[in-house]
Amino acid sequence: AYRARHIWGAVYADLEHDLSGPPLIDHGRHPLPSPQALEALFVRLGIEDRTQVVAYDAAGGSIAARLWWLLRYMGHDKVAVLDGGWQRWIAMDYPVTAGEESNAAGCFHGAPQRHLLHTIDELAQASLLLDSRDPARYRGDYEPIDRVAGHIPGAINRCWKDNLDAEGLFFSADELHLQFTTLFKETPPQRVSVYCGSGVTACHNLLAIKHAGLEMGRLYAGSWSEWCLDPSRRVARHSE
């Protein structure tokens, strides 16, 4: 799809091969790339320390938000997500091009910001767990991908798609601020750990929290696909 049509000047990053690490038996479906792999990726994409990055996709911003989070995780805060993504760009009749583009190698220097991440062994440090999957998967009504249905005990639910209006645009910062502060109640946002199925769409909720002007919580990157691998871990069904 990228080679057929894309925004002029855009280079391509693939979720499976670029924004995820190699599959691991005891981890989730989209493990984080190593810091070394991320640095090499950003160099290849032409990102330098002062580069303003704008990420977009055709998936409601869910994959673009993963790139947004990975850049912030590596200490690069000059990154944004295009509101409305590819669909909005096309609807506005903005120019597109075809083929494949590349940038001169960048000079990227980053370091992992560990305060943005929770491992499975650190989840107990979170005051609140936020599940970003659709409500039916959260409740355990069905599970189309992972081996077990349900959610991590104690987690509350907010589907990442609830950050968008009917036209696929983010709600205003004020509206999102109201929604998240109501959802979190007395819990400080930075004490929230966010997960989904595999650590991708959870980034969309983290982006929305940041857009709302709140301090960003942490990503549990392994997410449900890691949690449910061990049959000794408790599983909850229905709503908390």
CATH at 92: 3.40.250.10
- Looking at the domain assignment, is residue 172 inside a domain? yes
CB 167 within 8 A of CB 194: no
Q: Are residues 63 and 149 in the same domain?
A: no
Q: Comparing C-alpha atoms, which of 163, 173, 168, 196 is closest to residue 60?
A: 168
- Looking at the domain assignment, is residue 77 inside a domain? yes
Q: Are residues 108 and 120 in the same domain?
A: no
Q: Are residues 122 and 221 in the same domain?
A: yes
- Looking at the domain assignment, is residue 84 inside a domain? yes
Q: How many separate domains does the chain show? A: 2
Q: Are residues 173 and 134 in the same domain?
A: yes
pLDDT band per the 50, 70, 90 thresholds, residue 30: very high
Instruction: Give the integer Cα–Cα distance in Å for 15 and 181.
Output: 31
CA 168 remoteness from chain centre: 16
Q: What is the pLDDT of residue 25?
A: 72
Q: What is the pLDDT of residue 131?
A: 99
* Mean pLDDT calculated for residue range 136-149: 96
Q: Are residues 220 and 125 in the same domain?
A: yes
What is the pTM (predicted TM-score) of this model? 0.96
Of all residues in the chain, the percent with pLDDT exceeding 70 is 100
- Looking at the domain assignment, is residue 233 inside a domain? no
Q: What is the pLDDT of residue 24?
A: 81
Q: HSE of 221 in the Cβ direction (CA atoms, 13 Å)?
A: 20
Show the tokens assigned to 26: 């005891």
* Mean pLDDT calculated for residue range 89-118: 95
Q: Are residues 30 and 106 in the same domain?
A: yes
Q: Are residues 52 and 28 in the same domain?
A: yes
Q: Are residues 109 and 121 in the same domain?
A: no
pLDDT band per the 50, 70, 90 thresholds, residue 239: confident
The residue type of 37 is: A
Q: What is the pLDDT of residues 180-192, one digit of tens each?
A: 999 999 999 999 9
Instruction: Give the integer Cα–Cα distance in Å for 115 and 111.
Output: 12
- Looking at the domain assignment, is residue 197 inside a domain? yes
Q: What is the pLDDT of residue 181?
A: 98
* Mean pLDDT calculated for residue range 123-145: 97
Q: What is the pLDDT of residue 238?
A: 86
Q: Kindly tell me if the per-residue pLDDT of 27 is higher than 90.
A: no
- Looking at the domain assignment, is residue 181 inside a domain? yes
How do strand 117-118 and strand 96-97 relate by DSSP bridges?
unpaired
Among residues 92, 113, 134, the one where a domain terminates is: 113
* Mean pLDDT calculated for residue range 96-115: 94
Q: Kindly tell me if the per-residue pLDDT of 113 is higher than 90.
A: yes
Q: Are residues 183 and 215 in the same domain?
A: yes
- Looking at the domain assignment, is residue 238 inside a domain? no
* Mean pLDDT calculated for residue range 142-156: 96
Q: What is the pLDDT of residue 195?
A: 99
Of all residues in the chain, the percent with pLDDT exceeding 90 is 95
Count CB atoms within 10 A of the CB of residue 54.
14
- Looking at the domain assignment, is residue 237 inside a domain? no
Domain extent at residue 26: 6-113
Q: Kindly tell me if the per-residue pLDDT of 240 is higher than 80.
A: no
Q: Are residues 177 and 96 in the same domain?
A: no
Among residues 113, 128, 160, the one where a domain terminates is: 113
Q: What is the pLDDT of residues 58-99, one digit of tens each?
A: 999 999 999 999 999 999 999 999 999 999 999 999 999 999
Across the chain, mean pLDDT equals 96
Q: Are residues 15 and 108 in the same domain?
A: yes
Enzyme catalytic residues: 196
